[in-house]
């Protein structure tokens, strides 16, 4: 992949490269070559739109739907990313991509990192409690500290742990984490799903498993 495109994805769009590369590696070599070609088109046309050497209509002709459903989904997500890049920059670009309708659904969309404070959360005290649905492995390895999306609402975290279509981990290995975090570690407080976007590699005052799958089954009467 062209280095300029890599820098655009990583430095300007703030796409999590590990997540992006994991997705890329799931495609065949032929598909990866096709992706490189299509991304170069998206990048070049978007740059031309930025400097008024091409129109949005020209760019829209690059909407990809000639491959497998998974390939189409990937390239259509990247199409949306580049379309935002044409008109937005900095934190406004990050916010727009982070809020994309496909983020956190069963449709693939790149993980976008929030790296600066967007708003102040109105809380009493220095610490607050947040929850996140994740895998047991994420908790035991400490990788949960690299996950930005949390919620102040336990019920929402339970939904993401046990009902969310994007959860690939077997249900029996899904848990809900409870963490006590510094208010200063909250970069963005969103009313949607009571979300708290935390700084990468935050250091919780304390963390614990709030709910296991067995706990969840007991609470719902499931067998």
User: What pLDDT does residue 194 have?
Assistant: 92
* CATH topology classification for 127-220: ADP-ribosylation fold (3.20.170)
CA distances from 157 to 97, 131, 202 (A): 22, 6, 18
Distance CA 5, CA 82 (A): 11
Supply 223's token pair: 């067998």
pLDDT at 223: 58
Contact at 8 Å (CB) between 150 and 195?
yes
- Bridge partners, 197 (sequence order): 149, 188
Say what the pLDDT of residue 221 is.
73
Q: Report the side by side order of strands in the sheet with 127-135.
A: 186-190, 195-198, 149-151, 127-135, 174-182, 206-211
56, 63 Cβ separation under 8 angstroms: no
Tens place of pLDDT per residue across the chain (223 aa)? 899 999 999 999 999 999 999 999 999 999 999 999 999 999 999 999 999 999 999 999 999 999 999 999 999 999 999 999 999 999 999 999 999 988 877 789 999 999 999 998 888 889 999 999 999 999 999 999 999 999 999 999 999 898 875 667 888 999 999 999 999 999 999 988 899 999 999 999 999 999 999 999 998 776 5
Report how far residue 215's alpha carbon sits from residue 221's, in angstroms, rounded to the nearest whole number: 10
Tell me, what's the pLDDT at 165?
54
Domain boundaries, the chain: 3-98, 127-220
- Whole-number pLDDT of residue 14: 97
CA dihedral 172, 174, 179, 183 (to 10 degrees): -170
Q: Tell the burial category of 99 from Cβ atoms under 10 Å away from its Cβ (0-12, 13-18, 19+).
A: exposed
pLDDT in the model for residue 222: 64
- State both tokens at 147: 């996950």
Q: Which of 175, 187, 188, 178 is nearest to 216 (CA)?
A: 175
Position of tokens 């497998």?
Answer: 68
């Amino acid at each position: 992949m062209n280095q300029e495109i890599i820098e655009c994805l990583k430095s300007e769009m703030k796409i999590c490269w590990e997540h992006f590369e994991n997705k890329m590696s799931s495609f065949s070599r032929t598909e990866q070559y096709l992706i490189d070609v299509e991304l170069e088109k998206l990048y070049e046309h978007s740059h031309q739109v930025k400097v008024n050497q091409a129109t949005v209509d020209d760019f829209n002709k690059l909407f990809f739907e000639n491959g497998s459903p998974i390939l189409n989904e990937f390239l259509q997500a990247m199409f949306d990313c580049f379309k935002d890049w044409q008109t937005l920059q900095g934190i406004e670009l990050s916010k727009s991509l982070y809020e994309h309708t496909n983020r956190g659904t069963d449709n693939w969309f790149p993980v976008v990192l929030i790296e600066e404070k967007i708003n102040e959360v109105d809380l009493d005290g220095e610490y607050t409690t947040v929850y996140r649905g994740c895998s047991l492995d994420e908790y035991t390895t400490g990788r949960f500290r690299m996950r930005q999306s949390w919620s102040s609402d336990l019920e929402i975290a339970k939904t993401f742990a046990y009902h969310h279509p994007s959860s690939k981990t077997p249900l029996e290995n899904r848990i809900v984490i409870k963490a006590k975090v510094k208010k200063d570690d909250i970069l963005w407080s969103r009313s949607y799903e009571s979300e708290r976007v935390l700084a990468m590699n935050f250091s919780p005052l304390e963390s614990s498993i709030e709910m296991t799958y067995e706990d969840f089954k007991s609470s719902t009467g499931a067998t």
